[in-house]
Amino acid sequence: MTRVFSGVQPTGEGPHIGNYIGAFRRWVELQDTQDECFYCVVDLHAMTVPWEPESLAEGVRRTAATLIATGIDPERSVLFVQSDVPEHTELAWILICLSRMGELGRMTQFKDKSRGGEAESIGAGLFVYPSLMAADVLTYRADRVPVGDDQRQHLELMRDLAIRFNRKFGETFPVPEAVIGRQGARIMSLDDPTEKMSKSSGRPASAIGMLDDLPSVRKKIARAVTDSGSTVAYGPEHPAVSNLLDILAAVTGESTPELVARLEGQGYARLKADLADAVVAVLEPFQTRYAELIGDPAMLDKVLDEGADKARAVAGPTMALVRERVGLRSGVLR
Ligand code: AQP
């Protein structure tokens, strides 16, 4: 039996087209090919940067509705919220104790997100959250973790922690494998192709939000930066246009060489017009479904409660085994 686990943070302006291309659409596909899929709104990760209680609660509902509207089927996948399953934090503590300061300090996401801040004022959660992420996956003893390219380093740490735990305490966890797509695994910002598209950049023009109104999606694409010259070409010398081509390829299913052949000599305006049409064609039905879901909070809560029950049924036995292996008393749990 193969088990898949992945998560999304309910942060910032909400999921963007990069999250969809790099992660969600693969999660949906995996429902057809894998035995069990666990998809989690990782609300505790959203506390690694300053947060407001109302926007966190709102972000959780919005993210859950987004996942269902993109095609995650709660009948076929376990869809739940991280903080509903306390085993994540319990295992995280053990993994934090097995993590090394040096390896956590090398995480580029920590370096990026803490840049510019005073060490004195950066929350310690930002430093240790890769160990919580390892706990998220290992709690379910998952085999495969579909993520975008930005999570590659965290996945390596997760594998190291699983191996370290198994060596010290006996074979307990499968060593999870990252599933990273060859195309679209790192969608870049529309206003700066050297920077990853991100929920919390604070620059609305940088990301196509999945919930952005469609006229502003078109406007953002029309204003996206391009490379000097006017050739539609793909490669490292054309980072901005390559990023637009990556998005177009992902949403249409065409390959980038096919797109280049079709759009060559037609200038950037045509590329942007085609891209806007293709992105709107994906977002329009998604947003209609999303509006129905977000308008029914009782149904969403029910889905998430049921998901938490199913997740706990797997997480509980893992933690009971872990407690025994590491030498913690487990009598109270029996
Ligand atoms: N730009 C991206 N291109 C492709 N995949 C991406 N992912 C994120 N950004 C891109 C993938 O989406 C999944 C969920 O991401 P996350 O919520 O865990 O957080 P993140 O990776 O830190 O993404 P963001 O959007 O940049 O959020 P903030 O700004 O809150 O940090 C992951 O599988 C991720 O790889």
Q: What is the pLDDT of residues 145-170, one digit of tens each?
A: 999 999 999 999 999 999 999 999 99
Point out the ligand 1 atom lying closest to the alpha carbon of residue 11. Answer: 30
Going by the DSSP 8-state scheme, the letter that residue 127 receives in this structure is H
Instruction: Choose the residue to mutate in 55, 151, 153 for probing ligand 1, maximizing ligand atoms within 8 Å of C-beta.
Output: 151
Average pLDDT over residues 92-100: 98
pLDDT tens digits, 283-331: 999 999 999 999 999 999 999 999 999 999 999 999 999 999 999 987 6
State residue 332's pLDDT score: 56
* Highest mean pLDDT out of 48-52, 72-76, 110-114, 121-125: 72-76
Residues 183-197, mean pLDDT to the nearest whole number: 95
- pLDDT digit string, tens, across residues 252-291: 999 999 999 999 889 899 999 999 999 999 999 999 999 9
The pLDDT value recorded for residue 222 is 97
Measured from the CB, is residue 44 less than 6 Å from ligand 1?
A: no
Q: What distance in Å separates the CA atoms of residue 38 and residue 141, rounded to the nearest whole number?
A: 11
Q: 29 C-alpha to center of ligand 1: Å?
A: 18
**Interval between CA 151 and ligand 1 midpoint (Å):** 8
Nearest in space to 230 (alpha carbons), one of 219, 246, 244, 241? 241
At residue 16, the pLDDT reads 97
| pLDDT exceeds cutoff 60 at 85 | yes
Q: What is the mean pLDDT of residues 82-96?
A: 98
Nearest CA, atom 16, ligand 1: 8
Listed residue (301, 334, 328, 299) closest to 316, CA to CA: 334
Q: Which atom of ligand 1 is nearest to the CA of 207?
A: 1
For residue 265, the model assigns a pLDDT of: 87
Ligand 1 atom with the smallest distance to the CA of 15 is: 25
CA of 36 to the centre of ligand 1 (A): 22
Of 5, 6, 9, best ligand 1 pocket probe by most atoms within 8 Å of the beta carbon: 9
- Whether 151 lines ligand 1, by a CB cut-off of 6 Å, is yes
**CA distances to 24, 148, 203, 239, 279 from 246, in Å:** 16, 14, 21, 10, 12
With b for 16 or more beta-carbon neighbours within 10 A and e for fewer, the 148-180 pattern comes to bebbebbbebbbbbbeebeeebeebbbebebbb
Is pLDDT above 90 for 114? no
Over 60: is that where the pLDDT of 35 sits?
A: yes
What digits encode the pLDDT tens for the residues 37-74? Answer: 999 999 999 999 899 999 999 999 999 999 999 999 99
Ligand 1 atom nearest the C-alpha of 200 is 29
Distance, CA 228 to ligand 1 centroid (Å)?
28
The predicted structure's pLDDT at residue 264: 87
Mutate to test the pocket of ligand 1, among 13, 198, 211, 247 (most ligand atoms within 8 A of CB): 198
Read off the pLDDT band of 79 (50, 70, 90).
Answer: very high
Which tens digit of pLDDT belongs to each residue from 191-248?
A: 999 999 998 888 989 999 999 999 999 999 999 999 988 889 999 999 999 999 999 9
Return the sign of the alpha-carbon dihedral for residues 123, 129, 132, 136.
positive
Residue 333 has pLDDT above 80, yes or no: no
pLDDT of residue 331: 60
Is residue 70 lining ligand 1, measured as CB closer than 6 Å?
no
- Domains detected in the chain: 3-185+297-326 (3.40.50.620), 204-292 (1.10.240.10)
Predicted TM-score (pTM) of the model is 0.95
Confidence of residue 111 (pLDDT cuts 50, 70, 90): confident
User: If you measure from the C-alpha of residue 15 to the centroid of ligand 1, how many angstroms do you get, rounded to a whole number?
Assistant: 8
* Per-residue confidence (pLDDT) for residue 306, from 0 to 100: 98
